[in-house]
Amino acid sequence: MEFFDFGTIFFLVAAVVIFFQLRNVLGRRTGNERPPFDPYTAGRTRPAEGEKPAKNDTVVALPRRKGSAEPAEERYSVIDKVAQPGTELNRGLRAIKDADASFDPNTFVDGAKLAYEMIVMAFADGDRRTLKNLLSRDVYEGFVSAIDERERRSEKIESSFVGIDKAAIIGAEMKGSEAHITLRIVSELISATRDSAGSIIDGDPETVAEVKDVWTFARDTRSRDPNWKLVATEAEE
């Protein structure tokens, strides 16, 4: 027991001595210590103050947003395929491209065609929620007013969307920060309206009808919301 007590005391004293020796060496600040690890800047090395970056330093460049630095022939190449250069339509589309570098007329047309079908079917079904997300305030109020009147008369629309034959941009312009694009859409639709008794009062449930519309969509290019909304409609005779 005496040997055990002596050995324990010996090791405790040795540990204290070693601790103070290590502290004198490791605990001393020299001014050359590394900064604390920052997970948000990990992987980026900064040269010491007054030191020039080495020539073989790796620099990761962020993707450059397409803008005015991009050659015009590349920047407007897609637009020039949609509208003849020098025309008013081409100038309007270029203005939109200048305001929103991510704008692509072909992608826009694809989205507009999908929106067209959704709006036509939502109107037939009286789906106000879907319409609200796709229409401007004024157009929405007009559509809802027509739905309300139809419901008051207990009328119902039966519709089947066949497809879109043609969809082409016929107008484009910037109004302040708002981009406006007008489309001429030719679609095929089966539609019939029935009264409260179930009798057909408009359309034909067995006939595919050709429908021609001129619709204008708009979007604020300063907004983070990428969605366009229908701001004007016109039926083409």
Query: pLDDT of 23-34, one tens digit each?
Result: 444 444 444 444
Give percent of the chain with pLDDT exceeding 70. 70
- As a whole number of angstroms, the distance between CA 187 and CA 114 comes to 12
Distances (CA, A) of 124 to 54, 69, 130, 191: 67, 47, 12, 9
In this prediction, residues 180-189 reach a mean pLDDT of 98
| Phi/psi of residue 209, nearest 5 degrees | -105, 145
pLDDT at position 86? 96
pLDDT at position 184? 98
In this prediction, residues 156-175 reach a mean pLDDT of 97
Q: Which amino acid belongs to residue 177?
A: S
173, 95 contact by CB (below 8 A): yes
In this structure, what token pair is assigned to residue 185? 């859409």
| pTM for this prediction | 0.70
Average pLDDT, the chain: 81
Tally of helices (H runs) and strands (E runs) in the chain: 7, 5
Give 152's pLDDT tier (boundaries 50, 70, 90): very high
- As a whole number of angstroms, the distance between CA 128 and CA 131 comes to 5
Give 170's pLDDT tier (boundaries 50, 70, 90): very high
Residues across the chain: 237
Strands 229-235 and 178-194: unpaired
pLDDT at position 194? 96
